[in-house]
Amino acid sequence: MQAFTTHDGIVAPLDRANVDTDQIIPKQFLKRIERTGFGQFLFFDWRFRGDGSPDPRFELNQPAAAGATILLARRNFGCGSSREHAPWALADYGFRAVIAPTFADIFYSNCFSNGILPIRLSEEDVGELFDRAAAANAAGPYRLQIDLTTCSLRDTGGFSRSFAVEPFRQRCLLEGLDNIALALRHTDAIDAWEAAHGLPPVTAS
């Protein structure tokens, strides 16, 4: 899993609440067995028109959102089904962080397991970021700098906030550790337990 320490990126404002996982990655695209290749289908029903052409009205299709790596959204982002394909699609598209007032619990956890930093800020702070993005996007992309080591973010215009992340999740993301990598750090203890219970030792493939 790709580690996250500091990140400077373009912000894509998605001014919508209750964005569910079926909108993030529609169900017809869940047939792949790899984690890659889902980015092309991200927000498919919003990004594209019926003839397959990009919908110029959709936020991610705006010129100022080109190359965005930070998604800004409203409350309850990632609600709906628990499909892990949602963070897979976001990561494959290029997003490293998502900022919103609240997230669905399972989606929030899945982000950390897939190298994405979900940041919870107050409704007021998120509203200010939307205002700043709208003002900046008239002249060009809006950027934020995120530092997971200090749990803080800022822009170049004076906005600066701290955010909370559970220490264990923070360490895992800083070190790029998913659940498998965490388990492999304890193979000696696992082998000892399995040997004591008459099981063959674990071998890493």
For residue 106, the model assigns a pLDDT of 96
Work out the percent of the chain whose per-residue pLDDT is above 90.
77
Q: What's the pLDDT at 187?
A: 65
Given strand 117-120, what is the order of strands in its sheet? 117-120, 97-100, 70-73, 6-14, 143-147, 152-154, 160-162
Q: Which residues pair with 143 in a beta bridge?
A: 10
> For position 177, what pLDDT does the model report?
83
Least Cα distance to 154 among 137, 129, 124 occurs for: 129
Q: How confident is the model at residue 179 (pLDDT cuts 50, 70, 90)?
A: low
Here the contacts of 34-40 (C-beta below 8 Å, separation 24 or greater) are 35/88, 35/92, 35/114, 36/88, 36/92, 37/92, 38/85, 38/88, 38/89, 38/92, 38/93, 39/89, 39/90, 39/91, 39/92, 39/93, 39/94, 40/92
pLDDT at 25 over 90: yes
Residue 184 has pLDDT above 60, yes or no: no
Residue-level pLDDT at 112: 95
**What local confidence, expressed as pLDDT, does residue 172 receive?**
94
Alpha carbon of residue 156 to chain centroid: 23
Average of per-residue pLDDT across 107-124: 96
95 compared with 35, residue with greater pLDDT: 95
Please report which confidence band the pLDDT of residue 71 belongs to, taking 50, 70 and 90 as the band edges.
very high
- Beta carbons within 8 Å of 106's beta carbon, 6+ residues apart: 78, 82
Over range 54-60, report the average pLDDT: 96
Residue of 152, 154, 132, 151 lying closest to 142 (CA atoms): 132
What are the tokens at 26? 């529609």
- In this prediction, residue 159 carries a pLDDT of 98
Asked if residue 192 has pLDDT above 90, the reply is no
Per-residue pLDDT for 181 more than 70? no
Are 184 and 42 in contact by the 8 Å Cβ rule? The answer is: no
Output the CA–CA distances (angstroms, integers) from residue 42 to 6, 27, 46, 167, in the order listed. 24, 11, 9, 30
65 and 59 in contact (C-beta within 8 Å)?
Answer: yes
